[in-house]
Structure 1
Amino acid sequence: MSEPLLPPIGMLAELTHRCPLQCPYCSNPLELLKANRELDTQTWLDLFSQAADLGVLQVHLSGGEPTLRRDLEQLIAGLSARSVYTNLITAGVGIAEGRIEAFAEAGLDHLQLSFQAARPATTDRIGNHKGGHEKKLETARRARAAGLPLTINAPIHRHNIEEVPEFIDLALSLGAERLEIANVQYAGWALTNRDQLMPERAAVDRQAEIVAAARERLTGIMNIDFVTPDYFAIYPKPCMGGWAR
């Protein structure tokens, strides 16, 4: 017998393709949608309402860089009014003073902040954004001061895989409840640049050992999610690693 088709509980909303960074592994399509072709405020609010009616419990607001949407506070408030959990996925650069606090006041439940690397120079080089690392640190501090739970997202590839131990220390120092060690998935721009991004097998295996040890050491202190790569596996992992079930 086939399993019954269950309604979704989570939704990823890519609000824009605009972004101040130029990461070579970006999952955005090669043909980026211009701002004047983005869905407007009311269309997004209608979609969120339909999602809530279907039983969606959480919406992840992503991009591109979602904070470039001037209506983001309104979108968050609309989801909050439907009792939908909201997670803002941001690069954390260029966010105006007071805006993170406004997101919290609108009902934002959680902030997920991406770091291109644990070292400032690597962060700025990979994202092609001078001073980006320090801006991200400030975003993390402001999020914690606003009372928002914080996840640090670490997209891993050849040029930062040796920094995994430092990513763990960074997340701890910022008071993050969760760290996601997310090996780059090769689609979009990452597929185009795969030859320059794919790590060596030995580095991937060493990374897995480091994460396993850190998980045990930090039990009850910080959760570490490890999005394993399947390009060295015999069989690919299920879609979403089973998270969508």
Structure 2
Amino acid sequence: MDRFALESYLAQGVERMVRDMIRVAARDPKTSAFVLKFSAECMKASKKRERSNRNGSHVPPFLICSLTEDCPLHCAGCYARANHCHGSDENNLSANEWLDVFNQAADCGISFILLAGGEPLLRRDVVFSAARCQNLFFPIFTNGTVIDDEYTELFDKHRNLFPVISIEGGKASTDGRRGSGVYDTIMDKMTALQKKRILFGASVTVTKANMDEVLGEEFISMLRDKGCRAVFYVEYVPVDGRDELAPDEAARASFDARLAELRKDHNELLFVSFPGDEHSSGGCLSAGRGFFHINSHGGAEPCPFAPYSDSNVRDKSLTEIMESRLFAELRELGVLESEHNGGCVLFEKRDVIRSLFPQHSGSEKTDRT
């Protein structure tokens, strides 16, 4: 897929997402008002990206920012812990540095910034800074346990912050992976958000073990009745060697068919799948094709699953980072568009990425591989 075709694909994807946001927020006046204003901002951002594209520079509509490496939970199969990224928050970007990143992103034409971690809500200072950026939409991927009255009030006042709470299915599945009592805790948090009519999402790691459960009508109806309006399905990546849990080709085909049914039957919900059907986008969207990742220390990486960086936001602007040698080589060498067995192409091709990395003078490899 050439640059102009990719830009068109991404622009259409953003338009569909905003239309879906308007649809699922229709019954909530506060969120509807924000989404209508945000749709105008998205149009402005799209024009910025088009101008950059005409000038030979591709700007993605999405950015992922990991605010911290710390997390109060010890989830089984956690990618961050399996690759030793927990435990050191030294040299983290400050709230002002993150705010500068957010403002640069908006100036470039980026519309959506996914806040992750670790547990992003532990960086209260950064989340409060994000609330000020009303021209950006921030899905916050959280384990939910840190949500308190102060956060509930913040989410109520600033609808550009959209909490996305991790859940693995029912009580047994969630507590089995996330720890005893976590399911009941996040049910309480969802209830608190629902009482304030704050829309939120759910993030589900999909494995062979829980696929039937998390695609089932009982689970989806429970989330809807709790006030959830978006479900993010994230395919499990076997970082701990448990390949038997990773969906295979047959499981993915079954998942895609069931997801199509859910989208048809539940118009009140937005369903998003990662990595989704990469064939429709001409391959993986990382390394700046559709998004890139900034870690808690400011290192710009192709993706959270490819923790290599030759640029840092403390030394370079986002515009310079998007043209970095590492990102350019991944795009130009065809790694992102290569044939693979489905799922996460960067994780599957990690040996190729490692072989490329030593070529970059002044680059750094994080402690996560």
In which range does the TM-score fall when normalised by the shorter chain? 0.7 to 0.9
Q: Does 1:240 align with 2:285?
A: yes
Once the 2 structures are TM-superposed, how far is the Cα of residue 235 of structure 1 from its aligned partner?
11
- Distance in 2, matches of 1:169 and 1:94, equals 25
Aligned 1:108-123 pairs, distance under 5 A: 108-115=160-167, 117-123=168-174
Q: In structure 2, what is the equivalent of residue 53 of structure 1?
A: 107
Q: Is the 8 A contact 1:150 1:178 kept in 2?
A: yes
Q: In structure 1, what is the equivalent of residue 62 of structure 2?
A: 10
- Distance in 2, matches of 1:228 and 1:105, equals 32
The alignment partner of 1:152 has SS state of: strand
Once the 2 structures are TM-superposed, how far is the Cα of residue 134 of structure 1 from its aligned partner?
1.3
- Distance in 1, matches of 2:96 and 2:166, equals 28
Amino acid at match of 2:200: L
Q: In structure 2, what is the equivalent of residue 31 of structure 1?
A: 84
Q: 1:58 to 1:2 in 2, by over 3 A?
A: closer
The size of the alignment, in residue pairs, is 234
Q: Could you tell me the TM-score, scaled by structure 2's length?
A: 0.55
Q: 1:85 to 1:234 in 2, by over 3 A?
A: closer
Once the 2 structures are TM-superposed, how far is the Cα of residue 237 of structure 1 from its aligned partner?
6.4
- Distance in 1, matches of 2:262 and 2:156, equals 31
- Distance in 1, matches of 2:103 and 2:275, equals 33
Which one of 200, 206, 215 corresponds to residue 254 of structure 2? 206
- Distance in 2, matches of 1:215 and 1:77, equals 30
Once the 2 structures are TM-superposed, how far is the Cα of residue 225 of structure 1 from its aligned partner?
2.5
- Distance in 1, matches of 2:159 and 2:258, equals 36
Larger Rg: 2
- Distance in 2, matches of 1:235 and 1:38, equals 36
Q: Is the 8 A contact 1:215 1:223 kept in 2?
A: yes
Q: Does 1:195 align with 2:240?
A: no
- Distance in 2, matches of 1:143 and 1:43, equals 29
Give the helix-richer structure, 1 or 2.
2
The alignment partner of 1:71 has SS state of: helix
Amino acid at match of 1:111: P
Note the residue ranges of structure 2 that are not aligned, 5 or more in a row. 5-52, 292-369
Once the 2 structures are TM-superposed, how far is the Cα of residue 135 of structure 1 from its aligned partner?
1.4
Which one of 222, 226, 236 corresponds to residue 273 of structure 2? 226
Could you say what the CA RMSD is over the residues aligned between the two structures, in angstroms?
3.1
Amino acid at match of 1:141: T
Identical counterparts, % of pairs: 24
Q: Does 1:134 align with 2:179?
A: no
Q: Is the 8 A contact 1:118 1:170 kept in 2?
A: no
Amino acid at match of 1:221: E
The alignment partner of 1:36 has SS state of: coil
Once the 2 structures are TM-superposed, how far is the Cα of residue 112 of structure 1 from its aligned partner?
1.4
